[in-house]
Amino acid sequence: METAKEQAAQYTLEPATDIPKSNHYYLNMGPQHPSTHGVLRVLLEMDGEYVIKAQPVLGYGHRMHEKMAEHKNWMAFMPNTGRMDYAAALPFNHGYAALFERLCNIEVPERAEYIRVITSELNRLVSHHLWLGAFLLDLGAFTPILYTFDDREQVLDILEDITGSRLTYCYFRVGGVCKDIDDKFVERTRAYIKRQRERFKVYNELVTGNIIFLKRVEGVGIISPEMARRYGATGPVVRGSGIAYDIRKAEPYSVYDRFDFEIPTGTTGDSLDRYLVRLEEMEQSLRIIEQALEQLPDGPYLGKVPKKLKLPTGDANFAVEAARGELSYYLVSGGGDMPYRLKIRVPSYSNLSLLPELAQGMLIADLVAAMGSLDLVIPEIDR
Partner 1 sequence: MPPELLRMIITAVLVVAFVFLNAMILGYMERKISAHIQRRPGLMEVGPHGVLQLIVDGLKLIGKQLVVPEGSSPFLFRLAPLLSFAPCVLPFVVIPFSRKLQAVSMDVGLIYILAMTSINVVAVLVAGWASNNKYSLFGTFRSVAQAVSYEIPMLLSLLAVIMMTSSFSLEGIIEAQKYYWFILIQPVAFIIYFVSGLAETNRAPFDLPEAESELTAGFHTEYSGMGFSFFFLAEYANMFTVCSIATILFLGGWKGIPLPFYDYSGIIWFLLKVYGLLFVMIWARWTYPRVRFDQLMTFCWKYLIPFSMANLLITAIMVKII
Q: Indicate if the alpha-carbon torsion angle 192, 193, 197, 198 is positive or negative.
A: negative
Q: Quote the CA–CA distance of 79 and 92 in Å, as a whole number.
A: 10
Should residue 142 be labelled a site residue for partner 1 when binding is judged by CB under 8 A? Answer: yes
Q: Does 143 bind partner 1 (CB under 8 A)?
A: yes
Contact pattern from residue 327 through residue 366 relative to partner 1, giving x for each residue in contact according to CB under 8 A and a dash for the rest: ------------------------------------xxxx
Residues in binding contact with partner 1, number by CB under 8 A: 28
Q: Which one of 17, 67, 76, 140 is in contact with partner 1 (CB under 8 A)?
A: 140
CB of 348 to partner 1, least distance (A): 19
Residue type, 327: L
Instruction: Work out how close the CB of 14 gets to partner 1 at its nearest, in angstroms, rounded to a whole number.
Output: 20
Single residue of 69, 112, 118, 137 touching partner 1 by CB under 8 A: 137
Closest separation between CB of residue 146 and partner 1, Å?
A: 4
CB of 138 to partner 1, least distance (A): 5
- The full 3-state SS of 9-43, as one line of letters, equals HHCCCCCCCCCCCCCCEEEEECCCCCCCCCCCEEE
Please tell me whether residue 270 binds partner 1 under the rule CB under 8 A. Answer: no
Residue 27 binds partner 1 (CB under 8 A) = yes
Taking the C-alpha atoms of residue 83 and residue 239, their distance in angstroms, rounded to an integer, is: 26
Dist. CA 102–CA 293, nearest whole Å: 26
The span of 90-98, 139-147, 269-277, 320-328 binding partner 1 (CB under 8 A) equals 139-147
275 binds partner 1 (CB under 8 A): no
- Taking CB under 8 A as the binding criterion, the range among 14-22, 138-146, 233-241, 253-261 that sits at the site for partner 1 is 138-146
- For residue 243, give the DSSP letter: -
The Cα–Cα gap between 120 and 163 comes to 12
Rounded Cα distance, 111 and 73, in Å: 25
- Contact flag: residue 202 with partner 1 (CB under 8 A): no
Decide: residue 146, CB within 10 A, 0-12 exposed, 13-18 middle, 19+ buried.
Answer: exposed
Cβ proximity to partner 1, 43 vs 90, nearer residue: 43
Closer Cβ to partner 1, 227 or 364, answer by number? 364
Handedness of CA 211, 215, 217, 223 (dihedral sign): positive
Q: Which stretch binds partner 1 (CB under 8 A): 85-93, 120-128, 135-143, 287-295?
A: 135-143
Q: How many whole angstroms separate alpha carbon 255 and alpha carbon 237?
A: 24
Interface with partner 1 (CB under 8 A), residue from 213, 245, 261, 329: 213
The alpha carbon of 108 is separated from its chain's Cα centroid by a whole number of angstroms, namely: 25
What stretches of 241-377 show up as alpha helix (H) in DSSP?
Answer: 247-250, 271-295, 347-353, 355-359, 364-374
Closer residue to partner 1 in complex, CB, 35/291: 35
- Least separation, in Å, of the C-beta of 365 and partner 1? 5
Main-chain dihedrals φ then ψ at residue 219, nearest 5 degrees: 75, 10
368 interacts with partner 1 by CB under 8 A: yes
As measured in angstroms, the least distance from the Cβ of 366 to partner 1 is 7
Of 137 and 286, which has the nearer Cβ to partner 1?
137
Q: Would you tell me the crossing angle of helices 90-104 and 110-138 to the nearest 10 degrees?
A: 150
Give the separation between CA 101 and CA 129, rounded to whole angstroms: 31
Return residues touching partner 1 (CB under 8 A).
25, 27, 33-35, 49, 136-143, 146-147, 150, 206, 210, 212-213, 215-216, 363-366, 368
